[in-house]
Amino acid sequence: MVAFMATARYDSVADFYIDGWTDEINDPATVVLLEQVGSCAGLRVLDVACGHGRVTRALARRGGHVTGVDVSERLVERARRVEQESPLGITYVLADLTTGVVPASGSFDLVTCNFGLSDVDDLVAALRAVAGALNADGRFVFSILHPCFPGSGEVSGSWPSDRPYWCEGYWMPSGRDSSLRRQVGANHRTLSTYFNALADVGLVIELVAEPEPDDAWRSSHPAAALSPLYLVVSTRRAGRSRSPKANDLTVHE
């Protein structure tokens, strides 16, 4: 059911998503994510929730041997078409990691996920799959809308304005300027839920960044810009997970 719901969300807005997010990387969160990643030369990289391949291609241009995975058939089709037209050696896989299907389990040096975790309904299953995909000393770097961002005016926050921060779950933002989230919704989780879930699957936090929005966004949304907007976290796999099912995965080479 998770795979079907997630697929329907993004398949229905694929053209809007593709047109709105080009290969130019200038948004603060993605810039910082790539800074934390650093050079990918010689690394085996898995980009989770890769969409139409925007960040996947950036990782390949940094020298990585990259696999992108997503549940949206339309977005994966677009990514494959771009790869055919301008080859970078990227492999794209249509799959839902929360079902336990992991491409080449245990063999990746790096896993990335740019603004994808809030689209995943089962966070623990997704992070368990990420940990399972990494080699013994592999890294996982991700970005999300900051869980503590309350929103302001026409910008929706991480959680509904009529509920408290501690009320977790899937919801549909309504802010006019939250263009994508207004169409696909999001899962709100507290900061502690994210950090504890990482610990439960054996991913140790090494670096946390809270990038500020750019000057243009601050100028157009001055009230919203007073609060943390983005969160970028770099983690490293550290031994076996505390979860008894952490390694109970189906391996697909």
Q: CA–CA separation, 48 vs 114, rounded Å? A: 8
Reference 109, options 130, 128, 84, 126; nearest CA is 130
Instruction: Please tell me the predicted confidence (pLDDT) of residue 7.
Output: 54
Instruction: Please tell me the predicted confidence (pLDDT) of residue 246.
Output: 35
Mean pLDDT (whole number) for 47-69: 96
The tens digit of pLDDT for each residue in 27-56 reads: 999 999 999 999 999 999 999 999 999 999
* Domain 2-241, CATH homologous superfamily name and number: Vaccinia Virus protein VP39 (3.40.50.150)
Higher-pLDDT residue of 146 and 240 is: 146
Domain range list for the chain: 2-241
In 146-198, which ranges are E strands? 151-152, 155-156, 169-171, 186-188
In sequence order, what are the beta bridge partners of 139?
Answer: 110, 236
